[in-house]
Chains A and B, each alone.
Chain A
Amino acid sequence: MLYREAGDFKTSYAEDNQTFPIKFDRWRYWFVLAVAYLVIPFMINDYWANAIFVPFLIYAIAAIGLNILTGYCGQVSLGTGGFMAVGAYACYKLMTAFPEVNIIVHVILSGGITAAVGAAFGLPSLRIKGFYLAVATLAAQFFLVWLFNKVAWFYNYSASGQISAPERFVGGVAVTGPNTEAWAKYMICLVFVTICAIIARNLTRGTIGRTWMAIRDMDIAAEIIGVNPLKAKLLAFAVSSFFIGIAGALFFAVYLGAVEVGEAFGIQKSFLVLFMVIIGGLGSVFGSFAGAAFLVVLPVALKLIGVDLLGWPTDLVSHFQLVIIGALIMFFLIKEPHGLAQLWRLAKEKLRLWPFPY
């Protein structure tokens, strides 16, 4: 009977506003953080880092970003891949132009540059709504990918058209380049994801978050209580793109190391991150983690079961993956638009009443 809500009374508004108002949840939160920071780095190897943890952490950042725009502010974007590309190429240009500056600064700056680009592409959102806007963001997706493909300046005129990350260090430890150890990749992503999640949580719990949700739920009513819709939407685009840019920079510099824009940041990436947000739960920071984890683990698990266990051909398994993802998207939209996060909440509510449901 560990999980108890009763008797956990609040005596101040500050306590009532906590992220984890229930004591048990707070303990679990610290426990997860402790495992993530103190246990996993010592156990991780290349396979686990590259197959699961690093992509999971990076996609979590991207999903948090898209969730701010789509889940909180209600503006669906299909340009995530393009904005990740902006982050990646900004990071590459900064890394090669200012090698003496710390990579962490570069990643954050890449986020800032992506925020500016995102806000620019968010400008039409004042006039275009709903799926008109979703389709309009495709303009960003295709234009940006084309731009990074065609303008040689962005990839420093390299013959292959690829960008590859030079070796950079944080505190004497390589975090990019071919000699990076698994735990170093993992740690830098973990630090970024932690900070991003805290910032996202803080922004969405206060005035700004309420402004966004007001726009999402009813933009006319939002205006009548004093929300400037253009400002609110642009801010959502900028903040969202900031996170997505950081994710793109890490995806390129830390995870892949070398990137070809059409392959790494194509339209499929936009859909993938959108699916993470839908499956995880629209309007939930926790859901972004859940969705990212789910869609990173799913292909690995399917391959494990299908190819290694049953001995099926790889392409058959990848077709199954499409069917499963598609079916899941429809299932979640029909049954639970708030995604895994809501399922988790419901489970908790059931647990709270357990073993006497009435």
Chain B
Amino acid sequence: MNATADSYVTEDGRTIGGVLMDMRNITLRFGGVEAIKNISFDIREGEIRAIIGPNGAGKSSMLNVISGFYNPQEGEVFFRGERRPQMKPYQVARMGIARTFQNIALFEGMTVLDNIMTGRLNHMKAGLFRQAIWKGAAEREEIENRAHVERVIDFLEIQAIRKTPVGRLPYGLKKRVELARALAADPKLLLLDEPMAGMNVEEKEDMSRFILDVNDQFGTTIALIEHDMGVVMDLSDRVVVMDYGRKIGDGSPDEVRTNQEVIDAYLGVAHD
């Protein structure tokens, strides 16, 4: 796979590279129900890729396939040009795929700082004995990673709540902390499951800005699910549209907007 050959530059000057993740003919069944029916699409390096569709279209299932929670019955997943074998979620995380959840999944008993530090887990190598001694390797490593985490904290403007237990935070901030935890891992691919669900307009604007900034400054590839069509069309480079587990559209926001099948799905035309 040649990354430079098919790379291009967007209107706003970002470079979109070759294919980072390629989903080929994915089919996922729960018992007799087909949640995902033979879907293929790819995610290119550096782009913001959106997956949209009505409720129950299989978007979250798709994200769960990417992050290793579900193993599809058919189809193959290629990551950075190599076929990915069946993996547990933690192995997927170690390949550099981080995600957030639709219903926030933070560690409520820990402080914001500790929560974000957990994102650095896979970058910290000191073993049991070094940590038991602490002075030396473990402490040095902790401080290096703390510095990294502080950059993320600055970036997402949550300095003031560093030492607050997550359980006490309001919803909007929790979402931001969850994003911070995912970012702290330096992911190659960042999956966001409805990052703006339940937010008011100001919070949505903030979150949109963060997503764009992350993509712009760190060059992180992002795949997101979102209901708010306006936001999706503004943010994303390319959009996959799903309905009843099938892919009914794929392309730039403008292409998708004019796709008849997509319009039908969203306006609720009867299926035959």
Contacts and interface: CB of A to CB of B under 8 A. Distances in A.
Interface stretch (B29-37, B133-141, B203-211): B133-141
Contacts of B124: 206-207
Contacts of A13: 142-143, 146-147, 150
A202 B131 contact: yes
Dominant secondary structure of chain B at its interface with chain A: helix
B106 interface: yes
Contacts of B101: 221, 224
Nearest to B93: A226
Given A208-B131, A226-B121, A17 B146 contact: yes
Dominant secondary structure of chain A at its interface with chain B: helix
A225 B139 contact: no
Interface of B: 67, 88-90, 93-94, 98-99, 101, 105-110, 114, 117-122, 124, 126, 128, 131-134, 138-139, 142-143, 146-147, 150, 181, 185
A220 B121 contact: no
A221 B106 contact: yes
Contact of B105 (A203, A206, A224, A283): A224
Given A13-B146, A14-B139, A218-B105, A213 B134 contact: no
Interface in A217-253: 217-218, 220-229, 235, 239
**Residue from A13, A207, A235 with most neighbouring chain B CB atoms (10 Å):** A207
9 smallest A-B Cβ distances: which pairs? A226-B93, A221-B105, A217-B107, A202-B134, A223-B89, A226-B122, A13-B146, A207-B124, A199-B132
Contacts of B185: 225-226
B93 A217 contact: no
Nearest to A19: B134
B117 A210 contact: yes
A211 B143 contact: no
25 contacts: A17-B143, A17-B146, A202-B132, A202-B134, A203-B131, A203-B132, A206-B134, A206-B138, A207-B124, A210-B121, A211-B121, A213-B114, A214-B110, A216-B107, A217-B106, A217-B108, A217-B109, A221-B107, A222-B107, A223-B88, A224-B93, A225-B181, A227-B90, A228-B88, A283-B109
B93 to A, nearest CB: 4
B118 A210 contact: yes
B116 to A, nearest CB: 10
Nearest to B108: A217
A242 to B, nearest CB: 10
A223 B119 CA distance: 11
B26 to A, nearest CB: 20
A4 interface: no
A23 interface: no
A211 B121 CA distance: 8
Given A214-B110, A225-B185, A226-B93, 14 more contacts: A206-B142, A207-B120, A207-B142, A210-B114, A213-B109, A217-B106, A217-B108, A217-B109, A220-B105, A221-B101, A221-B107, A223-B88, A224-B67, A225-B122
B167 to A, nearest CB: 9
A206 B113 CA distance: 12
B133 A202 contact: yes
Interface in A91-130: none
A228 B67 CA distance: 14
Contacts of A235: 128
Contacts of A150: none
Contacts of A224: 67, 89-90, 93, 98-99, 101, 105
Nearest to A239: B128
Contact of B106 (A14, A17, A206, A218): A218
A202 B98 CA distance: 28
A226 B90 contact: yes
Nearest to B109: A217
B136 to A, nearest CB: 11
A53 B7 CA distance: 72
B90 A229 contact: yes
A205 B141 CA distance: 13
Given A203-B132, A217-B110, A228 B146 contact: no
A235 B131 CA distance: 13
A258 to B, nearest CB: 33
Contacts of A210: 110, 114, 117-118, 121
A116 to B, nearest CB: 14
Given A206-B138, A208-B131, A213 B110 contact: yes
Contact of A225 (B108, B114, B119): B119
A202 B129 CA distance: 10
B146 A208 contact: no
Given A221-B101, A226-B90, A207 B126 contact: yes
Contacts of A220: 89, 105
Nearest to B182: A225
B118 A206 contact: no
**Residue from A205, A217, A222 with most neighbouring chain B CB atoms (10 Å):** A217
